[in-house]
Structure 1
């Protein structure tokens, strides 16, 4: 099986081209390929398959590292577009990509990729608990569920043990949730994230959009440009009344062949 490895600010993915949609992967095969010791290693897997949606030639079949299905990935869709561009499967300067969260349009500007992520839909207040502490947060949907807990100027951000999954209210998030912890004020904030089905990651694109939307709302503006600093790098989120644009790098670091764990599906 051919594969590539790519990342967006350290949020890394195994990319599998399946241009005729002939080899769907089971959850256990995805998990094995994403394993960092026994597989290629990645926070998730992007399978490149034909799209059934008018207006986009390719569909991003995105899976979390544990093999579970995810609706959307802001870093992943930029890396996906980079792969299409590098392999002659799409032309710039704008690349439409079909996802479970709808068609996303990725604009290519040199080594920088910007994607229209759609609106940040604010939900109810909720809570996250970790290590005996509880924080109030706000639900935000970016096509996938987020809980943004803003710690103000609390510098405990670096001390959080995000190797453990924060507890959340299953009544608000029945399908699980990506939990973001943020500090600082717009236009520059810092964040860490525990991603559903993965664990802590170096970056989360949809999470950065959710954090920026909350930070700008706290600032009183509600809209504007916000830089979001993550362990793996900095992303820029531009929040408007109608959508959020996410900009940052997308890098392919390796290509090769791999054995499919457990054989073909």
Structure 2
């Protein structure tokens, strides 16, 4: 199986082209390809498949590293668009991509790719707990579920052991949740994230959008631009009255053949 490998601020993906929609990978096959010791390695897999949406050519079939299906991935859709560009499967400056979270439009501006992620939907207050400590959080949907928890000090953020999944209220998040831990205030914050089905990742695009929306609201505004530092770099999130735009780099770093 031919594959490519790409990342957006360290959030990395195995990319498999399936233009004829002939290779619907099983959860076990996805997990094998994403395994960092026995496979190619990645936080998730992007299958390039034909779209059923009118006037949209490609569908991003996104899977988490454990093979589970995810509704949306902000870094993934930007890497997906970069792959389409480099393979001559799409032209800029705007690329429409069909996803389980709806059609996303990616705009190309040099090394930066910006995607219209749609608006954040705020849910109830909740909490996350880890290693005997608990933090209040805000539920946010970006087409997939997030729980944004603000911490007090930067040292507290660094000390978190995200090898373990934070505990959360399954009555609020029956399908699991991505948990973001944040320090700082808008217009510039830092975050770490534990993604459902993956573990800690170097970046999470939808998570950065959720974090920025919460940080701006905490600062007294529902709109504005917020820089979000993740372990893999920096993402720029612009929140308007209608939608959220996520901007950052997306690069293809390798290609090859994998054996399943």
Measured against aligned partners, the alpha-carbon deviations of 1:71-97 in whole angstroms (never above 9, x if no partner) come to 000000000000000000000000000
Q: How many residues align?
A: 260
Runs of 4+ with deviation above 2 angstroms: 152-155
The alpha carbon displacement at 1:145 in A equals 0.2
- Write the distance in 1 (CA, Å) between the matches of 2:46 and 2:86: 15
Q: What's the TM-score, normalizing by structure 2?
A: 0.99
User: Contact conserved, 1:155 with 1:183, CA < 8 A, in 2?
Assistant: no
User: Contact conserved, 1:237 with 1:247, CA < 8 A, in 2?
Assistant: yes
Q: Could you tell me which residue of structure 1 aligns to residue 41 of structure 2?
A: 41
- Write the distance in 2 (CA, Å) between the matches of 1:130 and 1:176: 15
Aligned positions of 1:54-203 closer than 5 A = 54-153=54-153, 155-203=155-203
The DSSP-based 3-state class of the residue aligned with 2:179 is strand
- Write the distance in 2 (CA, Å) between the matches of 1:240 and 1:153: 29
Coordinate RMSD, CA, aligned: 0.7
- Write the distance in 1 (CA, Å) between the matches of 2:127 and 2:226: 24
The alpha carbon displacement at 1:189 in A equals 0.0
- Write the distance in 1 (CA, Å) between the matches of 2:249 and 2:239: 19
The alpha carbon displacement at 1:154 in A equals 5.0
- Write the distance in 2 (CA, Å) between the matches of 1:40 and 1:60: 19
- Write the distance in 2 (CA, Å) between the matches of 1:191 and 1:131: 18
Measured against aligned partners, the alpha-carbon deviations of 1:180-224 in whole angstroms (never above 9, x if no partner) come to 000001000000000000000000000000000000000001210
- Write the distance in 1 (CA, Å) between the matches of 2:132 and 2:153: 20
Q: Could you tell me which residue of structure 1 aligns to residue 230 of structure 2?
A: 230
- Write the distance in 2 (CA, Å) between the matches of 1:164 and 1:258: 30
Q: What's the TM-score, normalizing by structure 1?
A: 0.97
